[in-house]
Amino acid sequence: MNIITTNNLTKKYTDLIAVDNVSFSVLKGEIFGFLGPNGAGKTTTIKMLTTLLNPSKGSAKILDFDIIKDRDNVRKNIGVVFQEPALDTELTGGENLDYHARMYAIGRDKRKERINAVLKLVDLEDKRDIIVKNYSGGMKRRLEIARGLMHYPNVLFLDEPTLGLDAQTRRAIWKYVKKMNKEEGTTIFLTTHYMDEADYLCDRVGIIDRGKILIIDTIENLKNSIGNDVITLTCSNINTLEKRLVNEKWIHNIKIHDSKLTLGVEKGDEKIPLIIEISQSEKIKIKSISVRKPTLDDVFLHFTGKTIRDHDNKNNVESQPRFRMRGGRK
């Protein structure tokens, strides 16, 4: 069952198309991720789905409620945790949750029961009476997640939920996200530009870049789409070797990036001797070569031609990567 559906969802500004004819669906109970660099259109999409922005064209529904025609019903069925903090730091954690519950007209007894439940879920029971300004960054994010769950939403939107947090705190947040998805049965729509976050949390991801969705699939299928193994090498004449290898039928994709040649192949260990033999025939000296399983970084590079770090670093002075693909699996 689809709990979110969009059809050619678009947001245009005067000189910018922030979201460009986006169509996708999210299944009930899954953790769905929007993976892309800063400025790709992730937050704009969430703002349209949560009724904070009107689309320029296209449509979207949450539980069959139209985001334009049925705003109130959409809002009743969603929870949202945005990038920017939205807690009252002069109130305690419990008071923040109580205030939020009152906004949704949850009765006193039910309110008390629910506050206990969500604080337990995010492991903040003993921090209920502490003023929020004294919380750590990780505690504040966990409290925001708890607040987003107060009114039993069918869908929880998490916009870059671990942005700026240290690695240990990020992993703790991941644990709570998994826990609430399982225990509360909440469908989660997550945006992130952290590859490891998407890999750990998401059932499916959509890669979005410059407002367009490039691909949507499971993590496993996305990794398999570029080959069972990834070979990375450096050599004396990388452009010549690329031209020599590009037509080899056993190579799923080939690209040069950051002065390295990367190949997607099956049975990488067996292909290394072939690569060495070909390089020797071309009088090319291989300086380093390695084989590993593909990651989401490889997937992103495969579909966009850049790493996500390249996109996010506005001052990047490296040359644009050359990118070639053979026919075959996509």
Q: Which of 29-33, 159-163, 248-252, 316-320 has the highest mean pLDDT?
A: 29-33
CB 170 within 8 A of CB 103: no
pLDDT of the residue at 243: 94
In the prediction, which pLDDT does 306 show? 80
- Report whether pLDDT(329) > 90: no
Q: Which long-range contacts (CB under 8 A, 24 or more apart) does 324-328 make?
A: 324/242, 324/246, 324/253, 324/254, 324/255, 325/253, 325/254, 326/246, 326/247, 326/249, 326/251, 326/252, 326/253, 326/254, 328/252, 328/253
Q: Which tokens sit at 185?
A: 């049965």
The pLDDT, as a whole number, for residue 69 is 96
The DSSP string of 108-171 is: HHHHHHHHHHHHHHTT-GGGTTSBGGGS-HHHHHHHHHHHHHTT--SEEEEESTTTT--HHHHH
What integer best gives the mean pLDDT of the chain? 90
- Which residue, 56, 54, 23, is CA-closest to 212? 23
pLDDT-derived band of residue 200, with 50, 70 and 90 as boundaries? very high
Q: What are φ and ψ of residue 41, in 5° steps? A: 115, 5
Domain ranges, ordered by start, for the chain:
2-218, 225-325
Amino acid at 50: T
Q: Which of 37-41, 266-270, 312-316 has the lowest mean pLDDT?
A: 312-316
Question: Residues near 298 by Cβ (< 8 Å), separated by ≥ 6?
Answer: 223, 226, 230, 262, 264
User: 24, 9, 18: which is closest to 211 by C-alpha?
Assistant: 18
More confident residue, 227 or 114: 114
CATH 3.30.70.980 fits 225-325, yes or no: yes
pLDDT band at 307 (very low <50, low <70, confident <90, very high): confident
Selection from 280, 300, 301 nearest residue 289 by Cα: 280
pLDDT, tens digit (0-9, with 9 covering 90-100), for 66-110: 999 999 999 999 999 988 888 999 999 999 999 999 999 999 999
Q: Exposed (0-12), middle (13-18) or buried (19+): which is 110, by Cβ within 10 Å?
A: exposed
**pLDDT above 90 (res 320):** no
pLDDT at residue 178 above 90?
yes
Could you say which architecture CATH assigns to the domain 2-218? Answer: 3-Layer(aba) Sandwich (3.40)
pLDDT at 328 over 70: no
Q: What percent of the chain has pLDDT over 90?
A: 75
Taking 80 as the threshold, does the pLDDT of residue 118 lie above it?
yes
Average pLDDT over residues 159-180: 89
Question: What was the pLDDT predicted at 73?
Answer: 96
- Looking at residue 220, its pLDDT comes to 92
The pLDDT-based confidence of 41 (bands split at 50, 70, 90) is: very high
Name the 3-class secondary structure at 288: strand
pLDDT(217) > 90 = yes
pLDDT at residue 83, as a whole number: 85
d(C-alpha 15, C-alpha 142), whole Å: 37
Structure tokens at 254: 């080939």
Kindly state the average pLDDT of the residues 157-169: 90
